[in-house]
Every structure is written in structure tokens, then in C-alpha cells.
Structure 1
């Protein structure tokens, strides 16, 4: 069940049209109250609109696509603005650990928060969007960035009604720890090119990265002896309270999930080169 309150409307409306507006949306997932923003573009009274669920990337990324205070690219807020120009309504929300939602039901035991919990939260958001009075439930889209694209791929094959299309923006396209290893090795290669490591040191660090991934998957402590401090800190952060999330995310191989999509589902796939 979703509750909605109008929070912002333009001062003047065009005759015969309902002005664009933002609404604060509240829905429940696994006993947690989740807060989000529904943006409804200008439209004719009674018109049912296409709509997109916007899903954020990894880490504590809020409904606008930011990780305050250090990172504020407004990724999802900009997507909402762009889709507004095409007359597409959008719902974006504060996922677990961010914004007004916070940790919710996991506040006292964050170590139990795993990736499937985020997928269930996104499913509840999709159902909330589907049920809004201005929305055409048969023309729903899912737009996911990074980890959110993988979540969107998982939802796309299971939600009802099935989405008319998916936008997978810089998707997490391989297993999480394989992706981490790939990115870290690229950084080490660049550091070697700049003379910060010798080729022999590069090989040692790369082997330590592979060993760390294996240790995590086998539920063993990671040996950080041969890892640079920044990489060692990353693998240390993947253990302890975060271990359940990391391993449950790593268990998903995104190409396998694509098989559950309805034949004919339209998919936009972007693949850039600037993701650190």
C-alpha cells in the first residue's frame, strides 16, 4: 500500500493540462517504511502515463543517485528530468541505508542485510509505481544504473505486469567479486605504467587479489599481506558485517537472469569506460 502527498507543483498551469508535480511516496518492504519521489510530468487530466522505476547503483546511493557528502552527481535526478521531457513519470526511492529510509528493520542487525533484501525493496517500489492513479500499468519501464541495472534485470523477469522495457546503464554484468578484481587489476596496471609498481610487484598484487576473492567465496579470512593499503581496506570492508551482502550479490551471474525476460522485451544497454 502506498501513500502519496503532493510536495511541489509549478505556480502556473497550462489550461487543460495537469501541471508537473513531485509527490513523496511511502511504501513498505519487509517491515521497513521506504520513502521516495514520484515525478509526474505535465499531462492531460485523466491521461494514464508511461512510467519508469529508477534504481540506484551500489553503496549508500540515495534516491537522487548521490552518496553525500562526498559524491553528488544527481544520476537519478537527472534521469527523472530527462524522462519528464518524454512525458514519462518516474519513481526513485531511498534504498536501505540512505536518506529518509535508513536501515529500517535492519537498524539493530545490519549484518543480516543481504542483496535479495534490496531486490525485494525494488519489487515493492515497482508495485507502488504500478498502482499510482496517473500510471498506465501496462507500459512500465525499469531503469537501473550499475548494481541497480542488475537488480532491474532480476526484476524484469519476475514482476507482474512484466516491464515493457529495461534500461541497463553501466550494468553490473558479471559476478561482483569478478568485477572488483577486474577493476582493481586495471588500476594496478595503470599504476605500474606510471612507475609506482614494478612488473614483478604487479604480478604479486594481482595474485593477492585473486587469492582474496577466493578466500571470500570460501568464507575464509583474507590475507592482505601483499595488497596495497587501499586494496587491503576494500577487502577488509567486504568481511564482517558486510560479508552477507557481498557474497549474496556475488552469487548472481547477470547473464543467467536475462533468460527469464519476456521475449520481445525492449532493452537499452549502455557500456562506458569512465567507471573507476
Structure 2
């Protein structure tokens, strides 16, 4: 799982906070994990606090700030937290179990499942409510974090609502299959890759001997438990069961999650609100062209501001 996001991309293809100087200092915060603490950062809103949100990170070794040692250095979650603080919304952003400052929570960061992340979400919600006095907590799930948020909404108590940002609306296996097919260079790998996706979707593990070396990082035995748990979930079906306020945010220039995903989520829940940021990439930054190099450059530039309308759109929905 640690390499999954960047491998999929490979196979398929001024950090200036709002209202600087008025925001309180960030505070370290912990929640109980299986074997040790989960670590995060609490940023309290300036002035009157209107809401509290937990930012759930995307796939792979993505840290609390939205960065990844495999090449993702966009700082998207840090910028989102600071922007929301300026809008009166307190946030907690987190390191996933087994990673970064949450390394002590489990011995193996790959040996996780979606239910594990749901349990961690419940732990964070409990801590956040205790530390902030909030009656309920919003979940802001980015990319794979959107799937976790949708699944958590069925089980975790004390939630205000959900914000799904660049979240898949189709089962993960289907999205993975599409990404692999999109790159002509993967042609020779497709039979083995699609057989692996079919097996994992049926709840069966794949023998390493059946995988070409190029596919081993994507379907490594150490991550197959997570893939089985994720492939079993249909985000649209989960969205249909949500009885909380639900905002879906989709970037028009996202090369990892497509408009069809956002539309499928919206179609599943008539009460959901869909917001499209026409120029936003998967990193929540705007790009002016349709050039792939320009799009990918947003993954590596923490100095780019967040997509215009992202913070204000989320804040307005939460306030309503």
C-alpha cells in the first residue's frame, strides 16, 4: 500500500496561510492506536469556532500535510487546514497508523484494512470532541480518504457530515483497472493485472508467482489484505446510505479520479451537493492547461495555492 498511489500514477502515467499572523499555533494531538499512539496536528480556528473537521488522507504513505516521500510535495492538507481555520473551522490532520509520527501504532503499516482505518477514525472523533468540546465532527476525506469517510459514516458516532474531495465513486478495483488500461505501455501486464483484480475483488489472495515483477509492488502480498477490504466496498452504495449532510468536491482536471466518479456519488444520494472546481487537479491545485506535465507539476509544488473556491466552498457548506 505504501507505494500504491505513485505506482498507479507511474503505470497510468508560496506556502502563505490565509489570514497569516492571526491563526493560533498548531498543537500536537494524539489518539489511541492498537499498539501505540496515532499522531496528528490540531489547528484551532481563529475567532469564533464554527465547526471541527478531521482530514483523512489519501492512499499510500501520504502524511498529515498531504505529502508523500515518493514524490508528492503539494502540502495540500496543511494549506486546507490553514484556509479553513481562517473561515472559523478547526481541523485535525493526521498521520495514518504505522506511518510517520504514527509509526508506533502498528508494527507494519501495510498490514491494515479499511475497518482498521474506520476504527482509527472513531478514535480520532472521540479525542477531537473531548479536546474541542464539539458536539460532532465533520469528516473531510481526500481520494482514498473519501472511501474511509464513507465507510466510517456507517459506523462512527458523533459525526456532523461528510466532505468527499477527489473521491472515487466506483469500486477501487474498477478504478485501478481503468488506470492500468489507460497507459498503452501496460498492455503486456494487463492479463495478469486484471486477473489479480478479479481475484482480490472476490476476496481471494493472489500468489506472488502469478504476478510479473512490474506488478509486484501494486499487488504485493503485504498489501493484499487492504486491497481485499477496499475492493469489497462500492462508494456509491455507501453514499446512498449516508443520512448526514454530504458535499462532493471534484476537480475538472483530476487525472486520478474522474468526473464520472463524482457524478456516480451524487446520483446515489439525491441530497448530496456536488461542487466542480473546473481547473483543479487531484492535489487540489489549479492548472491552466490540459498538459500532463503541467498537471503533474502541481504534485511537486507546495507554493501553489489551493484551487480557487475550495476552502470557501467547504466552509460555506459546513456553515449551512
Q: TM-score, normalised by structure 2?
A: 0.65
Q: How many angstroms does 1:208 deviate by?
A: 4.0
Offset at 1:12? 7.8
- Do the aligned residues in 1 keep the contact of 2:196 with 2:206 (CA within 8 Å)? no
Partner Cα separation in structure 1 for residue 20 and residue 115 of structure 2: 42
Determine the C-alpha separation between the residues in 2 that align with 1:65 and 1:159. Answer: 24
State the distance in 2 between where 1:64 and 1:220 align.
Answer: 33
8 Å CA contact retained: 1:150, 1:254? yes
Q: Residues of 2 paired with 1:98 and 1:186: CA distance?
A: 30
Matched, 1:220 2:201: no
| Cα pair 2:128 2:134 within 8 Å, conserved | no
The answer to whether the 8 A contact 1:28-1:34 is kept is: yes
**TM-superposed deviation, 1:38:** 0.4
Q: Contact 1:144/1:168 (CA < 8 Å) preserved in 2? A: yes
Q: Give the structure 2 partner of residue 23 of structure 1.
A: 27
CA positional deviation for 1:112: 3.9
Q: Per the alignment, do residues 240 and 65 of structure 1 end up closer, same or farther by CA in structure 2, a change over 3 Å counting?
A: same
String of CA shifts for 1:88-110, please: whole Å, max 9, x gaps: 000011112322111x3431x55
Map of 2:53 onto structure 1: 52
Question: Structure 1 pair 159/87, CA: closer, same or farther in 2 (3 Å)?
Answer: same
- The separation in 2 between residues aligned to 1:181 and 1:11, in whole angstroms, is 43
Question: Is the Cα contact below 8 Å between 2:28 and 2:40 reproduced in 1?
Answer: yes
Match of 1:136 in 2: 134
Counterparts of 2:238 and 2:56, CA distance in 1: 17
Report SS of the residue matched to 1:174.
coil
Give the 3 Å change call, closer, same or farther, for CA 184–273 of structure 1 in structure 2: farther
Check conservation: 1:215, 1:221, Cα contact below 8 A: no
> Is 1:118–2:98 an aligned residue pair?
no
Work out which of the residue numbers 37, 40, 43 in structure 1 matches 2:44.
40
Q: Could you state the TM-score of these two structures normalised by the residue count of structure 1? A: 0.75
The equivalent residue for 1:174 is 170
Deviation at 1:235, TM superposition (A): 4.3
* Structure 2: tracts of 5 or more residues without a match: 1-18, 257-320
Distance 1:220 1:206, change over 3 A: closer
Runs of 4+ in 1 over 6 A off after TM superposition: 10-13
**RMSD, aligned α-carbons:** 2.7
Contact 1:171 1:271 in 2 (8 A): no
For 2:90, the equivalent position in structure 1 comes to 89
Contact 2:114 2:148 in 1 (8 A): no
Which structure shows the bigger proportion of residues in strand conformation?
1
